[in-house]
Amino acid sequence: GQQVMQIPQYQHVQEGEDFTTYCNSSTTLSNIQWYKQRPGGHPVFLIQLVKSGEVKKQKRLTFQFGEAKKNSSLHITATQTTDVGTYFCAGRRHGGATNKLIFGTGTLLAVQP
Amino acid sequence: GAVVSQHPSWVICKSGTSVKIECRSLDFQATTMFWYRQFPKQSLMLMATSNEGSKATYEQGVEKDKFLINHASLTLSTLTVTSAHPEDSSFYICSAPRTSGNNEQFFGPGTRLTVL
């Protein structure tokens, strides 16, 4: 079946350092979404990317969708303690059921003040 | 933004009992809702797609007779874990997608089930 892997599984950074998580799908995706889950909380939508090669920015966060629409990345510049949490990518398989998302394995970010 | 609620937020039950979890979309209608299970420090695993007015669609490996799903209205889906066992202990989260805009999914706060 479709698999969506993320690396790294865990990253510990000092506040102010940058952070990147990479998302790779075994199949082509129609679009990809990113979610953040704080410890003990539920996933919260961050952004959706649809076009091949698309890049979107939200303040310190930069999201990219690969040219082949099989991978994506999330980069955080100058991390803050509020960035702590698990970041999940979630993709819809190209030609798959509308709205059905397959979640990546997630990357847990720890930020030391 | 849209809000999805879940009830209860946590439940502890004895092995062999059944537990019902409710998922409600509070300010929008959801013809489709999704049920996920999340074990500690793991990702969300899609269990099933709940369809209003029709049968749920289960993912491979998920027993439909054990995890009963009912989507009786456009704002309510229920998941019943029947004859629960300790291995069913997990965090169960529902989500409902907005059909307009980004198609983002709004997640409920989750239900933590502990089976003794």
Residue B105, pLDDT score: 86
pLDDT tens for B34-70 read 999 999 889 999 999 998 888 999 999 999 999 999 9
Residues 10-69 of A with CB under 8 A from B: 31, 33, 41-45, 47-48
Q: Mind giving me the DSSP string for A41-82?
A: S--EEEEEE-STT-EEEETTEEEEE-TTSSEEEEEESS--GG
Residue B62, pLDDT score: 95
The count of residues in chain B is: 116
The residues facing A17 across adjacent strands are none
Residue A20, pLDDT score: 98
Residue A14, pLDDT score: 97
Tokens 């198609």 appear where?
Answer: B103
Residue B57, pLDDT score: 92
B110 and A CB contact within 8 Å = yes
Name which of A42, A46, A103 is nearest B94 in CA terms: A42
Residue B15: φ, ψ to 5°: -60, 135
Contact status, residue A35 vs residue A44, Cβ threshold 8 Å: yes
Instruction: Count the helix, strand and coil residues of chain A and give each as a percent rounded to the nearest 5.
Output: 5, 55, 40
User: Between the CA atoms of A44, A49, A53 and A57, what dihedral angle is there, to the nearest 10 degrees?
Assistant: -50
Residue A82: φ, ψ to 5°: -70, -10
Contact status, residue A15 vs residue A80, Cβ threshold 8 Å: yes
Q: Considering only residues B116 and B30, tell me which one the structure prediction assigns the higher pLDDT.
A: B116
- Say which DSSP state B16 is in: T
Per-residue pLDDT of chain A (113 residues; tens, 9 = 90+): 668 999 999 999 999 999 999 999 999 999 999 999 999 899 999 999 999 999 999 999 999 999 999 999 999 999 999 999 999 999 987 665 566 888 999 999 999 99
Name which of A102, A12, A1, A23 is nearest B34 in CA terms: A102
For residues A74 and B65, give the distance between their C-alpha atoms in angstroms, rounded to a whole number: 39
Shortest alpha-carbon distance between residue B49 and chain A (Å): 8
A88 and B CB contact within 8 Å = yes
Q: Which residues in chain A have Cβ-Cβ distances shorter than 8 Å to B39? A: none
Residue B24, pLDDT score: 95
pLDDT at B7 over 70: yes
Candidates A48, A98, A103; nearest CB to B104: A48
For residues A79 and A97, give the distance between their C-alpha atoms in angstroms, rounded to a whole number: 36
Mean pLDDT over all residues of chain B?
Answer: 92
Residue B1, pLDDT score: 61
In sequence order, which residues have a C-beta less than 8 Å from that of residue A27 and are 6 or more positions away?
A2, A70, A93, A94
